[in-house]
Chains A and B, each alone.
Chain A
Amino acid sequence: MNELLTLMKSELVLTVLIFLLLFVKIGRGVRNEALLPIIQVLLLLNFIVGFFFNGEGSLFGGMFHTSSLIAFEKNILSLAVYLISLLFAGWLKKSQHMPEFFLLMITALLGMFLMISSGNLLMFYLSLELSTIPVAAMANFDLDKKRSSEGAMKMILSSAFSSGILLFGISLVYGATGTLAFAEIPAQLNGSPLQVLAFVFLFSAFAFKLSVVPFHLWAADVYEGSPIAVTAFLSVVSKASMAFILITVLYQVFKPLQSIWYNMLVLLAMATMVVGNLFALRQQNIKRLFAFSSIAQVGFVLVGISSNSTLGVASVVYFMLIYVFSAMAALGVAAVVSHHAGQENIDGYKGLYKNNKFLSWAMALALFSLAGIPPTAGFFGKLFLLAAGGERGAYWFITVAALNMIVSLYYYLRVVRAIFMDANEKPIDIIPLGNTERLGLVICGAGIILVGLAGGIFNFIQTLH
């Protein structure tokens, strides 16, 4: 019993949070303005608790396992959810169903926690569904907008399709190896065609969720249609959790098939980076821009994953930590501007600097970090990813990735140019910035600068296992 409490601590805390919210909703109900600070404090507590009482071991016959690295990954996800509650406070307060939004989001987070901790393909599948279905409901949260419903519909259909492929892959894995436990599969793998086929099916499901090219087509429409808070959740939290479990699956479960998945990853990473970047060049809508830029970023993550070493794990986790700060800051500013000024196009950002200096600098810092310009943390994140990818000696692959970083500069800096340099006769008026949004942006900005400069963090992640 005691073991259960320490190992499943983060999941239990989230369950308690879900119940508290349900009680609030079933009871007399609290006004959004009064409830939101309480939820923010609770999510902050959840983040802080994640650092203490961490155990290592497995439960339920290997279905669930946890380690210091997994605990750290969970902390990154909790941090992202806390930032969402801060940065999108303006939109959340106006929302008619705010408790439900957090209910769904925390339920999805619980699913992700279970997913990164899962030690069995069945457990993995169940928790994947737990983390996907609430997000589809969240995508539909702008109830009066048709685009939002359309996005939710597209998401639920494409995720149902990918779940079908995943289940087919799992059943093939069971047919080929006779087991579903992560610990027992590697011994049964010998590279027979059936096993390769099973792996390809399993991998395509991952590619769907990570929106890797050629499985990326749903991403842009869903990101554009859903509220920006949900876009942030999808592009940061959802992707980070999928990247973490992908590392476990590739490095531990399918290690014997390494020579096969390395080639797959190289091809997919290049396609993802090139397509994501080229499509991002043409976007006018800022949400679509971030959708394609997040596809391109996943390509860089795949570069890091392809190394198959401890450096690969550390660089991906480190990059995801930075990506949380950078993407959240950028989307947070976009949400504030969209909420108050109704502008979602890049042209609408022209001359933002004139009246909103703080927002402009926050956006610029976030975009520099996303593009990977030193001294922001994004530079170090990309540097370590490419260094990890280069371990195998495939320098032409790294060259393609580096060239893609230059291409990405163009569309990130286009936004910066619109904000700072382009003249506009009627720039956006002064936007009243709430305290929570300001706090969220300050945290993100501090994270973007400090995580890169404090080299100890990367070393610390490397010591985790």
Chain B
Amino acid sequence: MFARAVWLILRKDLRVEVRSGEIAYTTLFFAVSCVLIFAFALVREGRAPEDGAAGLLWIAIAFAGTLALGRTFERERQSETLRALLMAPTARPAVYLGKLLGIVALLTGVEVILVPLVAFLFEASALLGHPVWLAAILVAGTVGFASVGTLFAAMLIRARSRDVLLPVLLYPVIVPVMIAAVRGTSVLLQPEVDDQVASFWLALLAAFDVVFVTLALWTFEPVMTD
């Protein structure tokens, strides 16, 4: 039943999003605006700062992801539907996992548009030359970011200043994930990709994912009940 509940919640989130488009459009607009502003500020005479693309890509993902996290849980708060999900006769971590996968799916969709844009504006077409490595690093980094973000956004659902508190609490915790994701992406910008170095950063991201998802699954029920 656990897997079925996860699937039901994920499918429901995607259906609501397809119908409203609210979070996808705002998140994408914000991420694209973010990249464009950096491009106008940093690209001089057609020359982008060396290796800057990796950092800017992850900054845009983190900022847009924070917006998506806030809006996703705001939607559950407005009609108190999160309570209804917590009342379901399944282990409560299934609710967490369903919401996490929904956010990862949403951010992955945003990244599909963001990566070519960054590659174009920051002369980082090398990124697109290693699609498997890039996809693995993007997915691992996004899961690491969203795993902590989903837990914090759920915890803060009743806090009055949740929009301010979410980034304040989230960013310090995800610094290791962001560093590994940026360094892993930077490796792909080199003329010759060093597979060993890329594997190292990907393994580190995967380790963070395992730790963060395990901790979140373990703590979700107590923090949501108290």
| A, B assembled together | no
